[in-house]
Amino acid sequence: MSQFNLTIFGGTGDLSYRKLMPAMYNLYIKKELPEDFMITAIGRREYTSEDYHKIVEPWITEFAQVKVKDQALEQFFTHIHYFRMDFTDLSLYQLLDDYYEKNPTSNHVVYYAVSPEFFNVITDGFSSLKNIHEPKIVLEKPFGATLSSAKVLSEKLERLFGKDHVYRIDHYLGKEMVRNILTIREANLLFANVWNKENIDSVEISALEEVGVETRGNYYDHAGALKDMVQNHLLQIMSIVAVDDPHGDINTQQLEVLRHLRPLDQVDIKDTLLKGQYEGYRQEMHIDPASKTETFAALKLFIDTDRWQGVPFYIRTGKKMERREIVVKITFKSLRDDVDPDVLVIKIQPTEGVYLEFNIKTPGEDSITKAQMDFCQNCNLIFKLNTPEAYERMLHACMDGDGSWFSKWELIERSWQYIDTLKQMYIDADLPIYTYPQGSLGPKEADQLYTKK
């Protein structure tokens, strides 16, 4: 009996090639997998396991964090089995059951690395198997085409496999510096006592990407930046920054933050959201030539709690931007009119680190000048090597049954509702989608959101 089996539905998909296989290889090299583990990659294509190994090899070589060595890779491949199957055909699940009978495991993680339209049929097929024991089911956004279908699926998964056995991944929660936000706040007197409206002027969360929509037009043109980045990753970050008690249960705390987002019937949509689209987007592959999908979104949100009342949280994300960068910037209040505010920047990627800007005396003069301290965590090779990739960390957590950094359904539902309503308000108000040049910082009109208090 193996000690761990990762079954991947969608073994021949982009997610498996780019993220899951390289992450498993990293874990293998770091000796974080049990000796007796298996990966079962399920796909529809006519491959043998050997064919599959040849296909994943260049992906692992390109994307694994650790340097790939031929011998180690060969050893790693002895653990990977390709299982050919059309997973939409329920009559074929018996064969999968037979396979598990011959290859039993004590710890089963099942990854739905396919688009959400297949989640239901896989759930039906997989839950009918006899030779699986308490599997943990891992799935990623989008969890369904609509909120109601996602809710039905979620209830079904929880009913069939158990609430604690459903792992909804947001890979941003696996990023080292996202996890560091709470530590930086609560382990430093410097920040712990000033994390509130009395001392913080604004919070900016910015996620800029250089890449465009690439080959994912079919999906992206329906999702847009709001659903692709804001509803999940950026509201996750925002709610982590804003939790009331950094020591409390993270999911419960985050949900409380989202529950206190200013009710949308109390906001003016034009001061809350601005959408943009990069020039040339409509000519990209699989994109509607008249598409109104946003590739950029800027938001100004408020959290109506004692801690945050009146503090704007600015969120900005876009594709085809000037640079790739994710940061959280906390601007403190100015002590006096003649000094600049202190600024703390938590750098999430590609640089991982912390930047602090504060005031000192100008050397040799009486005036005040800015000092800048810039700590780069991933410039240190040891730190860099010790930092697991997001997927590596999340897969390891699933293997260990640690669900603490996975999203509970209520959190997803809340952010989904909020973003759906915002989107609808934008349409109802007939607000424009501003175009912006590729390689810029988005539409210049977005700056207006930032200037109005």
**Residue numbers at the binding site for ligand BG6 (CB under 6 A):** 209, 228
- Tokens standing for 183? 């530590």
Residue 18 or residue 333: which is nearer to ligand BG6 going by CB?
A: 18
Residue 422 phi, psi (nearest 5): -60, -45
**Active-site residue, selected from the candidate residues 81, 165, 233, 260:** 233
Of residues 57, 21, 55, the one with CA closest to residue 39:
21
Residue 19 or residue 165: which is nearer to ligand BG6 going by CB?
A: 19
Which DSSP string do the residues of 126-162 spell out, in sequence order? Answer: HHT-SS--S-EEEEES---SSHHHHHHHHHHHHHHH-
Residue 95 or residue 211: which is nearer to ligand BG6 going by CB?
A: 211
* Distance of alpha carbon 40 from alpha carbon 424, whole angstroms: 42
Which DSSP string do the residues of 217-246 spell out, in sequence order? Answer: HHHHHHHHHIIIIIIIIIHHHHHHHT-S-T
Supply the minimum distance, in Å, between the C-beta of residue 225 and ligand BG6.
8
Supply the minimum distance, in Å, between the C-beta of residue 135 and ligand BG6.
24
* Distance of alpha carbon 248 from alpha carbon 176, whole angstroms: 19
Supply the minimum distance, in Å, between the C-beta of residue 93 and ligand BG6.
29
Supply the minimum distance, in Å, between the C-beta of residue 216 and ligand BG6.
7
**For the chain, how many helices (H) and strands (E)?**
16, 15
Whether 76 and 25 have beta carbons less than 8 Å apart is answered as yes
Residue 158 or residue 209: which is nearer to ligand BG6 going by CB?
A: 209
Helix (H) or strand (E) holding 332: strand 325-332
- Tokens standing for 79? 């653990």
Supply the minimum distance, in Å, between the C-beta of residue 209 and ligand BG6.
5
* Distance of alpha carbon 91 from alpha carbon 93, whole angstroms: 6
Catalytic annotation on 247?
A: no
Q: List b or e across 286-319, with b for residues whose CB sees 16 or more CB atoms inside 10 angstroms.
A: ebeeebebbbbbbbbbbbebebbeebbbbbbbbb
- Tokens standing for 17? 């090639």
Supply the minimum distance, in Å, between the C-beta of residue 430 and ligand BG6.
27
Residue 90 or residue 211: which is nearer to ligand BG6 going by CB?
A: 211
In this structure, the strands spanning 108-112 and 4-9 are parallel
Residue 53 or residue 141: which is nearer to ligand BG6 going by CB?
A: 141
* Residues annotated catalytic, as ranges: 233
